[in-house]
Structure 1
């Protein structure tokens, strides 16, 4: 296990723009406020969504697309640097009107409505390729 102690410095709440991309809205906030590392919670609703499922055997992401309105029951993630850009590593639980839940690594979604709480860390975090999993992780 790799770990380090971090302090929080600032916190923000934001309303997302209807029609924008969910993850890009979080990344834009981080860019505008020059947040190099942080953790966020969000909720709301989306008009569609694309999850990425990581096939552990093949070590590749596979997209899973939902072209329907969905409720964002829970969304959590972190902000750090990846390939020279701020990246919002986003996981979400989305629900259908029936209550059926869909969950995973949220790559993109079109915002219907969204609210986000972003907490900034006092240190920069950079994702690096982990040789075992072939994922970009905090090391």
Structure 2
């Protein structure tokens, strides 16, 4: 009994840390041979669900790809001189591509993703994703696991977050 409770502790701590109940992910992802497949539905916050998945499953690091219909997609273009993102929001768009990574920063999951969305005129926009909310239909995300825990850190030379490789990387 003690061992079973001890094994559930990381998931419980992750749930408390992110203010989410375990049910938030119920029925939204499944294990695959290379990682996970996540299917989100209307109103789901894509970034928040990826963070919860990383915390609950203790994903060391991963690459992500996805597609779907978004109620809202918020992109940012990073202004290095001001050290802030200039945001722009698009509504009711197809997510033609989501590409990114899952790593860790200061003990919390860190999602870095870029994407391209298109509207009914087939004109596209894209960039660094600041937020995604699923619209009607769904959003499908493949999470491909990496064996080492990777951390993000602020590179002092550029003043922005970068992904650090594990110590044995070549």
Alpha-carbon distance in structure 1 between the residues aligned to 2:104 and 2:114: 17
**TM-aligned CA deviation for residue 59 of structure 1:** 2.6
- Consecutive unaligned residues of structure 1, counting only runs of 5 or more, are 1-8
* Larger Rg belongs to: 2
Higher relative contact order (CA 8 A, sep 6+): 1
* Alignment match of 1:128 (pick from 150, 153, 162): 153
Verify the 8 A CA contact 1:27 1:88 in the aligned structure 2: yes
Q: Which has the higher helix share?
A: 2
**TM-aligned CA deviation for residue 10 of structure 1:** 4.0
Verify the 8 A CA contact 1:36 1:86 in the aligned structure 2: no
* Residue aligned with 1:20, SS: coil
Verify the 8 A CA contact 1:23 1:108 in the aligned structure 2: yes
Shift >4 Å, 4+ stretches = none
What RMSD over aligned residues (CA atoms) do the two structures have, in Å? 1.5
**TM-aligned CA deviation for residue 98 of structure 1:** 0.5
Q: Is the aligned partner of 1:37 residue 2:58?
A: no
Aligned length: 130
Verify the 8 A CA contact 1:45 1:114 in the aligned structure 2: yes
* Alignment match of 2:124 (pick from 101, 105, 129): 101
- Deviation per residue, 1:83-133 (Å, 9 max, x gap): 321011111100111011110111112112100110111111110111122
TM-score (norm 1): 0.86
* Alignment match of 1:17 (pick from 12, 21, 41): 41
Verify the 8 A CA contact 1:59 1:133 in the aligned structure 2: no
- Deviation per residue, 1:23-68 (Å, 9 max, x gap): 11222222221102110101001001211110133332122122x2
Q: Which residue of 2 aligns with 1:82?
A: 105
TM-score (norm 2): 0.71
Alpha-carbon distance in structure 2 between the residues aligned to 1:43 and 1:86: 21
